[in-house]
Amino acid sequence: MKFGVVTFPGSNCDQDMIYVLRNVMGCETVELWHKDTDLQGVDFVVLPGGFSYGDYLRSGAIARFSPIMESIIEHANNGGYVLGVCNGFQVLTESHLLPGALLHNESHKFICKNVYLKPQTGESLVTRGLDMDKAYQIPIAHGEGNYFADEATIKKLNENNQILFRYCDADGNITPEANPNGAVENIAGITNEGRNVFGMMPHPERAADANLGNLDGKAMFESILNLVNG
């Protein structure tokens, strides 16, 4: 499994993601620049967190027009894997590779803290290897993480098991109090209908090294690799 991590102007989690994929998970990982059009034969593209183009319009709205996105959209439409984390999730919604949008947090404040996630489906690479009853502690760091979609879209996501994670408390209870940003139905991550494009606001790469005292995020990368390489 060969990974490619894209860097946009303003990306700041690209090196974290590269470190986890290359050094922790032992995967061949290449660095892709936003002006590239050649994906270098990668199997799995990752759009990392940060503030692409300063998020001066809407988060991810300008990055969506970077030259590399045409290649990524083609890659995804051909069944190739794509994961967007935080700002990368925003880019995927702006690119219409995933439905919905990410709005300002209800508090209108930037939030940086550990939260808990509960897997919602076993029908995706990211979640299939996870314990459906466990609350996974994963950090968030965003100002626009409030996932929104219209009622018909939410209904479809639920019916098709396309919701990857919901925010919960430490005991796995999905409650309004456990929702850090106002996301509709506590949604923290989704996948597309083809189950090859994934988006999530929390940062699993920030919880994937023993030195950080948290390996909950590593389980998500293990889930991906175990299914693809198994």
Tokens of 57: 């319009």
pLDDT of residue 227: 66
Alpha carbons 43 and 205: distance in angstroms, whole number: 19
Q: Which of 86, 94, 142, 168 is catalytic?
A: 86
Angle at 99 (CA atoms; ends 94, 101), nearest 5 degrees: 55
pLDDT of residue 127: 97
Asked whether the predicted pLDDT for residue 33 surpasses 80, the reply is: yes
pLDDT band at 58 (very low <50, low <70, confident <90, very high): confident
pLDDT (0 to 100) of residue 229: 62
List of domains in the chain: 2-229 (3.40.50.880)
DSSP conformation class of 23: I
pLDDT reading at 230 higher than 80: no
105-110's contacts with Cβ under 8 Å and 24+ in sequence apart are 105/142, 105/143, 105/144, 105/145, 105/146, 105/180, 105/181, 105/182, 106/146, 106/181, 106/182, 107/181, 107/182, 109/143, 110/141, 110/142, 110/143
Q: Is 151 designated active site? A: no
> Which pLDDT band holds residue 110 (cuts at 50, 70, 90)?
very high
With cut-offs at 50, 70 and 90, classify the pLDDT of residue 60.
confident
Query: d(Cα 190, Cα 157) in Å, to the nearest integer?
Result: 8
Sign of CA dihedral 128, 132, 138, 141: positive
In angstroms, the Cα distances linking 107 to 28, 49, 58, 73 are 40, 20, 17, 33
State the pLDDT at residue 42. Answer: 97
Is 203 designated active site? yes
Give the whole-angstrom CA distance, residue 78 versus residue 164. 22
CA–CA separation, 92 and 158 (whole Å) = 19
Q: What's the pLDDT score for residue 76?
A: 98
CA dihedral 15, 20, 25, 31 (to 10 degrees): -10
Torsion of CA 41, 18, 225, 80, to 10 degrees: -40
Residue percentage of the chain with pLDDT more than 90 = 92
Residue 66 has pLDDT above 80, yes or no: yes
Residue 216 token pair? 């909950």
Output the CA torsion 169→173→164→143 (10° steps). -40
pLDDT-above-70 percentage for the chain: 98
Q: What is the mean pLDDT of the chain?
A: 95
Average pLDDT over residues 119-134: 96
State yes or no: pLDDT of 228 exceeds 90: no
Q: Is the pLDDT score of 20 beyond 60?
A: yes
Tokens of 55: 């998020």
Copy the structure tokens of residue 186: 């506590």
Paired strand residues for 136: 117
Told to judge if 96 belongs to the known catalytic residues of this protein, a careful annotator would answer: no
Rounded to whole angstroms, the Cα distance separating 123 from 2 reads 22
